[in-house]
Amino acid sequence: MLGMSDQTPQDPYALPPAGGYPPPAGGVPPAAPPPVGAYPPPPPAGYPAPTYPAAGYPGGQAPKPGHSAFAIVALVISIIALVICWVPFIGPVAALVALALSIAAWVTSKKSGRPAGLAIAGTVASIIAFLAGVVITIGFLVFVNRAQEADKFCNSVSTTQAEYDQCMTDRVSDWFGIDTTP
């Protein structure tokens, strides 16, 4: 056989036999230096612990992670304002409340060093809700005004309920351009 021996291979993960390593010369070996970027060893007993500035902010505090609860509340109220903006008068008022909260949350987030994304989203959503609510409220007022005018006119020219109903149907059909004749 070519170069084969009768020895079994040694397990590289096996523990060495007791006393297999000689003791280090001179007692305990010196500790390895800490890796670059690691914290220094603790100070000897009796000395105060060293203070380190927050990362990247000498003498200051690091920014607080995450969004503020104020910004989350402002965004939720802005979304609610978007949902109810179709209700005349109530929608624009809710949107104004949401806008005030969103702007306040935006300013607070900037001052505290937190992300302002939710506050900005709340501001944009509340502006959209406010504009939509104002348009819907104006449309509602125009509709009510025209309905009152139609009611006065139909009451003046009608003598029976059937004539009044037909007059109102004709007026509404004229507003929307609908032909109700069969």
How much is the pLDDT for 62?
57
pLDDT digits (tens, 9 = 90+) for 6-22: 566 666 676 666 655 55
| pLDDT greater than 80 at residue 56 | no
| pLDDT the model gives residue 66 | 74
pLDDT, tens digit (0-9, with 9 covering 90-100), for 89-134: 999 999 999 999 999 999 998 888 888 899 999 999 999 999 999 9
The closest of 169, 24, 144, 27 to 88, measured between CA atoms, is: 144
Of residues 104, 107, 98, 106, the one with CA closest to residue 127: 98
Report whether 166 contacts 119 (CB < 8 A).
Answer: no
CA–CA distance, 41 with 35 (Å, rounded to integer) = 11
Q: Residue 76: is its pLDDT beyond 60?
A: yes
Distance CA 100, CA 69 (A): 15
Domain boundaries, the chain: 69-174
